[in-house]
Amino acid sequence: MIRLAAVASAFALGLVHAPASADAISDFCAGKSLKLLVGGSTGGGYDAVGRHLARYIGRHIPGNPGVVVENMSGAGSLILMNHLANRSPRDGTVLAIPTTNVLLDGRLKLPGAEKFPFDIAQAAWIGTPTQQPQVMFIWHDMPLRTLADLRAHKVVVGAISTATDTYILPMLVKQMLRTETTVIPGYKGSAEILAAMERREVDAHVALLANVTAGNSSYLKENKIRIILQFGRRRSSELPDVSTVAEWAETEADRQLFQFYGIKYEMSYPLMVAPGVPAERVAALRSAFDATMADQQYRAEAKRIGIEINPLRGLAMNAMMKTINDMPDDLVARLRALIVAQTQR
């Protein structure tokens, strides 16, 4: 958690970087437009968080560059990551917020991940504006509140692709908790799935919480949907009355598996640059991120549009990635086998 007052004070006093470094960054960034690649479609939670961040972070980078958002959804952010690796300069002018599945790619080594363009553990993490769980929500008229209800009623879940958590998580619930769940992939993004729920094409969706809170979504405000399950390691302060999937686990091994998978939601919107960006520019971006999180105007607007600010700094994300890499091999192998089995059904 960022100590906001200390960050703001250090930035204001110029203690974060030596003046020469700040001058060099300013000379490089002045007059430029940075690009922020976002792994979600327009209108979804990733889009809302990314665009809100883009409006402010440039103010805190020496040289005050503009920041332009480009949505690049699909294939579990593999399209975005390939673009970042192969078509973007590695000079700090291109940042990215991929979907969280990329955080586990290095350990799980799922089919398709062998095409991942670089070692995700070598990426430079800048920070995440908030730590949010993935949640399962259903249309309001579905009689579902408990695990027993999910076992007793057929539920059709809309998903984006089989490589994303919108598919993987409801399938893990189906496999491990024996629920009557059908998952239909192929939607462009969460906004499209919410519309499909309203048309009653599907009953449920799994997404990061901001997908139904950002923009003061009418879906929750008007009680059109109901959140019944969350997938973080612990209950979110925003959802104290909603069970975690680990609480529904029937064995200790299952609980540990769900807990492992939930680590990445503490890095819900992982802002990063590719390996190879000069260290001094990574440091400048991290300081700009920290200062943005302390920016009272940024925080006030976030509250107004329904984004909770609960940040994690870049170095803390590095430590979290080490936790992922240190997880026991047998646990990782079991999770991998479960996910691979989903694609063979």
Q: Taking the chain, what is the end-to-end CA distance rounded to the nearest angstrom?
A: 41
Give the pLDDT of residue 218. Answer: 82
Task: Residue 24: count other Cβ atoms within 10 Å of its Cβ.
Answer: 18
Rounded Cα distance between 299 and 164, Å, is 29
Give the pLDDT of residue 159. Answer: 94
Residues of the chain with CATH 3.40.190.150: 4-131+266-327
DSSP assignment letter at 180: -
Residues of the chain with CATH 3.40.190.10: 134-263+333-342
Apex CA 123: angle with CA 118 and CA 129, to 5°? 135
CA dist 1 → 144, 157, 313 (Å): 35, 34, 7
Angle between helices 4-12 and 279-293 (to 10 degrees): 120
Rounded Cα distance between 338 and 340, Å, is 6
Give 276-317 pLDDT, tens digit per residue: 999 999 999 999 999 999 999 999 999 998 888 999 999 999
Give the pLDDT of residue 114. Answer: 63
Q: Thinking of the domain 4-131+266-327, which architecture would CATH place it in? A: 3-Layer(aba) Sandwich (3.40)
Give the pLDDT of residue 9. Answer: 40
In this structure, are residues 96 and 40 in contact, taking their beta carbons and an 8 Å threshold?
A: no
Give the pLDDT of residue 345. Answer: 58
DSSP assignment letter at 273: E
Sort residue 65 into left (φ over 0), alpha (ψ -120 to 50) or beta. beta
Give 222-278 pLDDT, tens digit per residue: 999 999 999 999 998 889 999 999 999 999 999 999 999 999 999 989 999 999 999
pLDDT under 70 in the chain at which residues?
Answer: 1-21, 112-114, 215-216, 343-345
CATH number, domain 134-263+333-342, options 1.10.760.10, 3.65.10.10, 3.40.190.10, 3.30.110.40: 3.40.190.10
Q: Which single residue is written with the structure tokens 């020469």?
A: 20
Segment (H or E) for 171: helix 165-177
